[in-house]
Amino acid sequence: MPRLEDIKKQVLAGRLIGRNEAMEIRSAPLEELCAAANEIREHFCGNAFDICTIVNAKSGRCAEDCKYCAQSAFNGAKAEEYPLLGAEALVSQARYSRERGVLRYSIVTSGLKPDDEELERICEAIRAIRRHTGISVCVSLGLLTGRQLAAIREAGADRVHNNLETSRNRFPKVCTTHAYDDKVRTIRAAREAGLSVCSGGIMGLGETMEDRIDMALEIRELGVRSIPVNLLNPIPGTPLANNPPLSNNDMRRIVALFRFLVPDAAIRLAGGRVLLPDRGRQCFLSGANAAISGDMLTTSGISIERDMQMLGELGYRAAMCNG
């Protein structure tokens, strides 16, 4: 496909392509598209693979109405409920990850954002994790304020996760209790506080390829270089329980397009990867170069040991990537 080759050369030369060019190549032959994306990944990122783990530090009864989430109080899904875990438990899980070669660990809580008492406990846990394990700490705590972001930065976290989830146009069909611009403001505030940002979305919410491209472009504009690509795991009791999961080839095409759009990013397979028959292997040869390992928030994942074995077989090495 001559146009695909031309656009690939432009990306390799350092030019950022736009929406129209992404739309041009979205239907390119899959193997050609994925091979070109992998070449771009090798050029900008080498064989570094950014692997992280997460901990569900506070679970259930969230007051937000995200249609995909088992923890939303609006949905009828069954999810475990418990209050914020203590520092000892969070340190223990961080140590487990670090001993297996993982370089970043993320503390995730349900809810719009923590209250002051919870935030202080989270900051205490971050300080303990850094002191006892040295692992880099990320937090996914909702729509944090500038004051809260400054506090977690001072405690020792270096990254904030806050997914856009989907495109601006699609977002109101996914969540109505907070707005897309609330997420954008939090991402900008995190960067102003000196934190890096991890932000991506969920594929399979009913969005189009145009929605996915628009989301990737907004993420790029926000300066984000760690982009989770989640595959919807339809959970019984949620409004999206009957959505058909995307195929392995669907996900390969998505990550390849994301690589063209944000060539120097850590494009991270995240939730739902366990649904892929090869656990993401082909996606890691199609532009993706990062993953969340271990269990997800309310669903099982893939063990760190199994992921590390696969990365070695693919010629990757665990390392911090851009972002």
Residue-wise pLDDT for 45-61, tens only, equals: 999 999 999 999 999 78
Handedness of CA 287, 289, 294, 299 (dihedral sign): negative
Token digits of residue 187: 């991402």
Beta-strand ranges (E) seen in 42-180 are 48-58, 104-109, 136-140, 159-161
Is the pLDDT assigned to residue 322 strictly greater than 80?
no
d(CA 322, CA 235): 32
Say what the alpha-carbon torsion angle 120, 122, 128, 133 is, to the nearest 10 degrees. Answer: -160
Q: Bridge partners of 197? A: 160
Residue-wise pLDDT for 70-112, tens only, equals: 888 888 787 788 999 999 999 999 999 999 999 999 999 999 9
Residue-wise pLDDT for 204-230, tens only, equals: 999 999 999 999 999 999 999 999 999
**Is residue 160 within 8 Å of residue 198, measured between CB atoms?**
yes
> Pick from 188, 146, 184, 143: which is nearest to 167 by CA?
184
Show the domains of the chain with their CATH numbers: 2-7+29-318 (3.20.20.70)
pTM to 2 decimal places = 0.95
Tell me what pLDDT residue 296 has: 54
Tokens 């991270």 -> residue: 268
